[in-house]
Structure formats: structure tokens, C-alpha cells
């Protein structure tokens, strides 16, 4: 039963994402801007969840800590 709920949750998330993408396209948001904003918010949420610990955040993101630090500098 747990995997069914998980599958339904993923389908719902994909539907919400599709709707958001459609809104962004209609609003004239360009790909580089959308990508940058998504990445910035995604990384921020994971770092917040890990209470600012960049090493744990990098592990959770499955990226090297140096890569995470570089991305943060870019923002």
C-alpha cells in the first residue's frame, strides 16, 4: 500500500510541475532564469533541512561538497 501512495504522490507532483512549467512559459520566463531560480531554491531548502551543514546537504543532493560551494558562490 505504501508504494501505491508514493506513486500517486509522484504523479501529483509531476502534474503540479507541468502546470508550473506551463505558467512559466506563458509568463515569458526564459529557461536560464527558470533553471537558476529552481536550483537556488532547491539547494536552499536542502541546506535548510540539514541546518546549514554543507557536507550533509551535499551528501543528500548526491553532489560533491565543492560543487555545492561553487553553486552557492554563483548565487
Give the pLDDT confidence score for residue 2 in this predicted structure: 56
What domain range is 44 assigned to? 2-74
CATH of the domain at 8: 1.10.10
What does pTM read for this prediction? 0.76
Q: Greater confidence, 72 or 10?
A: 72
Give CA–CA dist 71/40, Å, rounded: 8
> Number of structural domains, the chain?
1
Cβ neighbours around 30 below 10 Å, total: 10
Give the pLDDT confidence score for residue 75 in this predicted structure: 85
Q: Greater confidence, 56 or 5?
A: 56
Query: What is the tens place of the pLDDT at every residue in 1-39?
Result: 556 767 787 889 999 999 999 999 999 999 999 999 999
Amino acid at each position: 500500500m505504501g508504494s501505491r501512495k508514493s506513486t500517486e504522490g509522484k504523479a501529483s507532483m509531476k502534474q503540479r510541475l507541468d502546470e508550473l512549467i506551463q505558467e512559466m512559459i506563458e509568463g515569458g520566463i526564459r529557461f536560464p532564469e527558470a533553471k537558476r531560480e529552481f536550483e537556488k531554491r532547491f539547494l536552499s531548502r536542502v541546506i535548510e533541512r540539514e541546518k546549514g551543514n554543507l557536507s550533509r546537504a551535499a551528501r543528500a543532493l548526491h553532489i560533491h561538497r565543492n560543487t555545492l560551494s561553487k553553486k552557492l558562490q554563483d548565487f
